[in-house]
Amino acid sequence: MISFNAKNVGTEGVTDARVLVEVVGAQTITVFNDTVAIPGNGGDVPLTALWSAAAGRYTVRVTIDPFAGTAELNEENNVAELAVTVRAPPQAAVPPLLWIGLGGGLAAVAAGAVLALRRRRTPVDPGEEAVQQGKA
């Protein structure tokens, strides 16, 4: 997500300022392209552009009035750029191994993960338990 403010340093408000947000990398991707109303005299509007980033280096470019559709005293202050580096998310940590000596050999057990399987037979009826124990 890219959050930014569109600010108007002029004295007149603008009702339809085109705002363009591009991410420049191996190719240029437009992630926001809309018109907004921006009040005059330093008024600003908070905006958000959604971007699914992959690892790499990019330049995020925000341009207000990219096609010079609004008459302005200064056309040179309509673009802001920021270089960003997106890092890949960390890989899931592999649990450390705990080596245990067993009868002259070694066994590796993942620390914190012990799995014990037991097979248990539940008697079907009370008389079956006595048969299993050799009492019947």
- Residue-wise pLDDT for 5-41, tens only, equals 999 988 899 999 999 999 999 999 999 999 999 999 9
- Once rounded to an integer, what is the mean pLDDT over residues 48-55? 93
pLDDT confidence bin for 123, thresholds 50/70/90 = low
Q: If DSSP codes are grouped into helix, strand and coil, which group holds residue 53? A: coil
Q: How far apart are CA 52 and CA 42, in angstroms?
A: 31
**Lowest-pLDDT choice from 37-51, 71-85, 118-132:** 118-132
Q: How high does pLDDT run on average in the chain?
A: 79
pLDDT score for 114: 42
Q: How far apart are CA 18 and CA 37, in angstroms?
A: 9
User: Of residues 81 and 73, which shows the higher confidence score?
Assistant: 81
> Is residue 59 over pLDDT 90?
yes
Ranges of each domain in the chain: 2-86, 97-132
> Is residue 124 over pLDDT 60?
no
Query: What contacts 96, CB < 8 A, 6 or more positions away?
Result: 110, 111
Backbone CA torsion sign across 9, 14, 18, 23: positive
> Is residue 71 a contact partner of residue 16, using CB atoms and an 8 Å limit?
no
Query: What contacts 119, CB < 8 A, 6 or more positions away?
Result: none
> Is residue 81 a contact partner of residue 61, using CB atoms and an 8 Å limit?
yes
Q: Is the pTM of this model over 0.75?
A: no
β-strand pairing of 28-38 with 97-102: unpaired
CATH of range 2-86; options 2.40.30.260, 1.10.10.10, 3.90.850.10, 2.60.40.10 = 2.60.40.10
> Is residue 135 over pLDDT 90?
no
pLDDT score for 3: 94
User: Of residues 14 and 92, which shows the higher confidence score?
Assistant: 14
